[in-house]
Amino acid sequence: MKPYFVAANWKMNGSQRLVSEIIEAVQGVKSDSVDIGLFLPSPYMAVAASVAGQTMIVGAQHVSQHESGAFTGEVSCAMLRDIGVSAALIGHSERRQYFGETDDLCGQRLMTVLRHGIAPVLCVGETLEERKQGVVETVIAAQLEAIDTSIEYANPAINFTIAYEPVWAIGTGEQASPDEAGEVHAFIRSQVVERWPELTPSLRVLYGGSVKADNVRAFAQQPQIDGVLVGGASLDVVTFTEICEEVAAVAQEA
Ligand code: PGA
């Protein structure tokens, strides 16, 4: 069985001090059955990678689809590799909403990260409006299309993660019920099995959206859910440690 994956997405929050505190607190929870990842603002990635070493995954929240050159403000895959960053979020709904990231752009970024051996976490999810209209699967299928552009660079040695994050559940305190999330996860998995079967050995599907210490267990216990992507609750050392411990407990029981 693949290890569960608990990933923290700090967004534009945190400090150098919090990096050290979180790493120290969760390092003890890391086991063969749980991977822990920190997706950090750019200024903190290098220090986290050097402190966390091989014990944790340090990831970027954004990476350029370009190799190098005149792209002011951008960060390349080669730079991430250079400082020990091994994973990257792609297509988080905030990037789609505020920075115009389209499915096409996500496809180009997926291709670039895979070429550089960086493990992608492709984020997908519907808005409340889309859920009300009953088009969840259509929306998710369209977002998964990004995989098509990049599939030739997929490699079983690079973990491929898809994070299902309903937009209406992000930062709102609302969550999908574990059953609702499980249904969408089953759909995502069936799409991958049907369309990109070469990804299945390395695939993990995470749930994200108002995950907290007191609800994480119910998500992790769903057979279709391989872990969680945690925003707000990952900024508190005690809470994030509890979340990691809860998932580790589920992994033990599995
Ligand atoms: P949240 O964010 O846990 O604060 O809802 C999740 C995310 O955006 O990845």
Which tokens is 207 given?
Answer: 């749930």
The answer, yes or no, to whether any atom of ligand 1 lies below 6 A from the CB of 125, is: no
If one counts every other C-beta atom within 10 angstroms of the C-beta of residue 248, the result is 20
User: With 90 as the cut, is the pLDDT of residue 234 above it?
Assistant: yes
Asked whether the predicted pLDDT for residue 241 surpasses 80, the reply is yes
Selected catalytic residue, list 165, 185, 242, 246: 165
Average pLDDT taken over every residue of the chain: 95
Average pLDDT over residues 207-225: 95
Tell me the CA–centroid distance for residue 220 and ligand 1, in Å: 16
Using CA atoms, how far residue 240 sits from 40, 59, 61, 114, 131, in Å, is 14, 17, 18, 29, 29
**Which percentage of the chain shows pLDDT scores above 70?**
100
Give per-residue pLDDT as tens, 202-215.
899 999 999 999 99
Residue with token string 């505020």: 98
Place 1 in a pLDDT band, splitting at 50, 70 and 90: confident
**Which pLDDT band holds residue 120 (cuts at 50, 70, 90)?**
very high
Residue 33: pLDDT over 80: yes
Residue 32 has pLDDT above 80, yes or no: yes
Which atom of ligand 1 approaches the CA of 233 most closely? 3
Which residue, by CA, sits nearest to atom 3 of ligand 1?
Answer: 231
The pLDDT score that the predictor gives to residue 249 is 95
pLDDT digits (tens, 9 = 90+) for 160-175: 999 999 999 888 888 8
pLDDT at 171: 83
Q: Is the pLDDT of residue 53 over 90?
A: no
What's the N-to-C CA distance of the chain in angstroms? 9
123, 170, 206, best to mutate for ligand 1 pocket (most atoms within 8 Å of CB): 170
pLDDT over 90 (residue 145) = yes
Residues near 51 by beta carbon (within 8 Å), at least 6 away in sequence: 19, 20, 23
> What pLDDT does residue 112 have?
97
CB atoms within 10 A of CB 229: 26
The average pLDDT across 63-80 equals: 98
Active site residue 92: yes
> Is pLDDT of 131 > 80?
yes
The pLDDT of 31-40, averaged and rounded, is 94
